Homo-oligomer: A and B are copies of this chain.
Amino acid sequence: MLESDFSQRGVEDTTLGRTREHVRQHNLSTILTTLHKEGSLGRNVLTQRTGLNRSTISSLVAELEALGLVEEVASTAPQGAGRPTLVVSIHDSVVAFAVAIDIDSIVVSLVGLSGRVLKTVRRRTPDAPAARTAIVMARNIINELRSDLDAGTRIVGVGVALPGQVSVSDGVVSEPAFLNWKQAPFAQRLGEEINLPVFVDNDARLGLLAEHDFGAGKPFSNIVYLVGHAVGIGGGVIEGGRPLRGTRGFAGELGHFRMSPPVNMPTAGFSGTLSTSVQRDDLLEALGETTIDDKKLEKALLASSSARVRRVVETQIDRLGIALAGLINIFNPEAVLLAGFLGILQALDPERLSESVKAHVLEQSWAQTQILRTQPGSDLLMIGTSELAFAQLLRDPGSFAFSRGANLKAVESE
């Protein structure tokens, strides 16, 4: 099953006329989405938030309850005088699978509609997996998790986070940065294997999506996001509350942001793109390490007193600042979010990064921009990936067709 209706949040065909049913759909969607993003809320909060009448909320919540999407429980914490409000919570009997494929591992999470990660399976791969290998491994893990599910559990689908360029319209992986796949119709193949709707997107965009909905980016609607991987740098942009996509979904690949002219122009210093100018491996090399994770890398950098390490760090911070300045000039964001080893760089010397940006940015564009680091080591990428699969349900809760949890066609046929 390949789904072509991807998570185009906020993209509505405004030329269309709206009917009464659209109102209902919109309001159901609003309530479910609000609960999804903010957790359990009292009915009173929902009335305030939506501006709808109490009776309307009552009717809408009842409908969502009938759909088996939410449940109402008596509030535990007392809230002062008056009749206590009922708290509306999202059922985690509705789930999605999130698959993240990385250079050395495949991770599959089971994520509930509440946005909680219920289970995670990480399986290492000997090398960067070929497309076929990745599909088979993902299928196997999903089927294992699937067979453990309660009978009543309903699955909305599978979201997949891939590094590199992913064509969102047809789920074809065009140029995966680390995996060396070429035009792999990943979504379709995996969909056929597991008989579930599969949605594919760029991992950086999904990470950003999760940061925007649940993480450090929550307060902002204009964000520039950069994530430093073991190899390469991914990026994404939120503009006006919506992710930048471009025609085929290739927009916002900020790792390719050019920092020096490719040819024929006077270079002064370094050359290449952000990905080639700021590399995690250079930090490892300066430290004399080969392979360590971000947590250890940060510790090592903090502990090190080597002049060489300091020089490398400073160079990278300066370069990062120049790139950020260019991006801030273009996007005028409220916040810049740095993840992965770029977050470490920022944490090591926020002042220096700030100064480097300041030296190369348009004053006005920069005036209200904050540079923030994301919370390291969180589940947010998996949550963002599951959002891909939840999107349709959240957009139109009334008419969504689930896949059955127990019906393990793929397992049976193995």
Q: In the assembled complex, how far is the CB of residue A219 from the closest CB belonging to chain B, in whole angstroms?
A: 12
- Stretch of A107-115, A344-352, A361-369, A377-385 with 4 or more beta carbons under 8 angstroms from chain B: A361-369
Chain B nearest CB, measured from A225 CB (Å): 13
Give Cα A312 to B257, complex, Å. 27
Closest-by-CB residue of B relative to A323 is B258
Q: Which A residues from 269 to 315 make CB contacts under 8 A with B? A: 269-270
A327 and B252 alpha carbons, distance in the complex (Å): 10
In A233-272, the 8 Å CB interface with B consists of 239-242, 244-254, 256-270
Stretch at the interface among A129-137, A145-153, A328-336: A328-336
Residue A23 is within 8 A (CB to CB) of chain B in the complex: yes
Closest residue on chain B to residue A34 by CB atoms: B15
Q: Are B15 and A30 in contact (CB under 8 A)?
A: yes
Chain B residues near A11 (CB-CB < 8 A): 240-241
User: Which one of A50-58, A68-76, A155-163, A398-406 is at the B interface?
Assistant: A50-58
Residues of B contacting A252 in the complex (Cβ-Cβ under 8 angstroms): 330
- CB–CB B332/A330 < 8 A: no
Since A15-B50, A18-B26 are in contact, a sample of 14 more A-B pairs with Cβ atoms closer than 8 Å, ordered by chain A residue number, is A18-B27, A222-B251, A239-B244, A244-B331, A246-B332, A246-B333, A248-B332, A248-B368, A249-B332, A251-B333, A258-B326, A260-B260, A261-B268, A261-B270
| Chief secondary structure at chain A's binding surface | loop
Is A79 part of the contact surface with B, judged by Cβ < 8 Å? Answer: no
Residues of B within 8 A of A269 (CB): 261
User: Which residues of chain B are within 8 angstroms of A8 by Cβ–Cβ distance?
Assistant: 240
Question: Shortest Cβ distance from A300 into chain B, in angstroms?
Answer: 26
Interface string of A89-104 (1 = CB under 8 A from B): 0000000000000000
Closest chain B residue, CB of each to CB of A360: B262
A sample of 14 inter-chain contacts (CB < 8 A) reads A10-B14, A15-B30, A15-B50, A20-B23, A175-B364, A239-B251, A245-B332, A246-B331, A247-B368, A250-B364, A261-B268, A261-B269, A261-B322, A330-B330
Q: Which of B10, B268, B330 contacts A263 (CB 8 A)?
A: B268
Q: Are A165 and B253 in contact (CB under 8 A)?
A: no
A174 an interface residue at 8 Å Cβ cutoff? yes
Q: How far is the CB of A322 from chain B (nearest CB, A)?
A: 6
Is A49's CB within 8 Å of the partner chain B?
yes
A408 near B: Cβ within 8 Å?
no
Smallest beta-carbon distance A367→chain B, Å? 8
A330 to B252, CA, bound (A): 5
Closest chain-B Cβ to A312's Cβ sits at a distance in Å of: 14
A16 proximal to B (CB < 8 A): yes
The reply on A82 being an interface residue by CB < 8 A is no
Whether A80 is near chain B, meaning CB under 8 Å from some CB there, is no
Judged by a CB distance under 8 angstroms, whether A19 is at the interface is yes
Distance in Å: Cβ of A306 to nearest Cβ of chain B:
22
Contacts of A175 in B (CB 8 A): 362-364
Smallest beta-carbon distance A395→chain B, Å: 10
